[in-house]
């Protein structure tokens, strides 16, 4: 399978809207189900308290976990997120955020994916876990 085919989840309309930058995946990323997604945040992403809104962090985690799981799919398969849980560790105002996601366990239909969001100083901002289900097209 070529790079573009297994990375079809990397260029979603929502990624362009919010500004996610997806690191190009390797064959090893496909085999292991890994993804890195970056986002530069500033006041445009703030909540009323002047910090990045939790929904933005959740969307970043959802994108990274979805891309990681999506990379493990075969041709003729799609997926849907069943569950996403996120824990916010520390607030952030403006900084580059890096979400690293990896498939923890993958079965025939269900996959469990983990994600850590860190800032450019490598401080843990949030962690998330997600359950995905495979859909045959």
**In this predicted model, what pLDDT tens digit does every residue of 59-76 receive, in sequence order?**
999 999 999 999 999 889
Which tokens in the block code for residue 55? 């929904």
- Alpha-carbon gap, residue 113 to 134, rounded angstroms: 13
Q: What is the pLDDT of residue 105?
A: 97
Q: What is the pLDDT of residue 55?
A: 97
- C-alpha angle 110-98-108 in degrees, rounded to nearest 5: 10
Cross-strand partners of 127? 87, 116
Q: What is the pLDDT of residue 98?
A: 98
Average pLDDT over residues 4-11: 64
The CATH number for 35's domain is 3.10.129.10
- Alpha-carbon gap, residue 50 to 92, rounded angstroms: 9
Mean pLDDT over all residues of the chain? 92
Domain limits for position 130: 3-136
Q: What is the pLDDT of residue 66?
A: 94
Q: What is the pLDDT of residue 7?
A: 65
> Total domain count for the chain?
1
**Residues, the chain:** 137
pLDDT band at 11 (very low <50, low <70, confident <90, very high): confident
Q: What is the pLDDT of residue 6?
A: 54
DSSP 1-42: --HHHHTGGGG-HHHHHHT-EEPPP-HHHHHHTEEEEEEEE-
Q: What is the pTM of this model?
A: 0.92
Tens digits of per-residue pLDDT, 33-43? Answer: 999 999 999 99
Pairing type for strands 110-119 and 95-106 reads antiparallel
Average pLDDT over residues 16-29: 91
Quote the percentage of the chain above a pLDDT of 90: 80
């Amino acid at each position: 399978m070529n790079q573009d085919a297994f990375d079809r989840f990397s260029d979603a309309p929502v990624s362009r809207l919010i500004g996610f930058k997806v690191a190009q995946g390797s064959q090893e990323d496909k085999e292991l189900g890994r993804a890195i997604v970056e986002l530069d945040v500033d006041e445009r992403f703030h909540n009323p308290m002047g910090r990045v809104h939790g929904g933005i962090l959740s969307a970043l985690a959802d994108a990274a976990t979805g891309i990681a799981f999506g990379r493990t799919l075969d041709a003729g398969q799609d997926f849907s997120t069943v569950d996403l849980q996120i824990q916010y560790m520390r607030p952030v105002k403006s900084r580059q955020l890096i979400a690293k996601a990896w498939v923890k366990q993958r079965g025939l239909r269900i996959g469990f994916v983990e994600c850590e969001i860190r800032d450019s100083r490598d401080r843990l901002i949030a962690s998330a876990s997600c359950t995905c289900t495979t859909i045959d097209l």
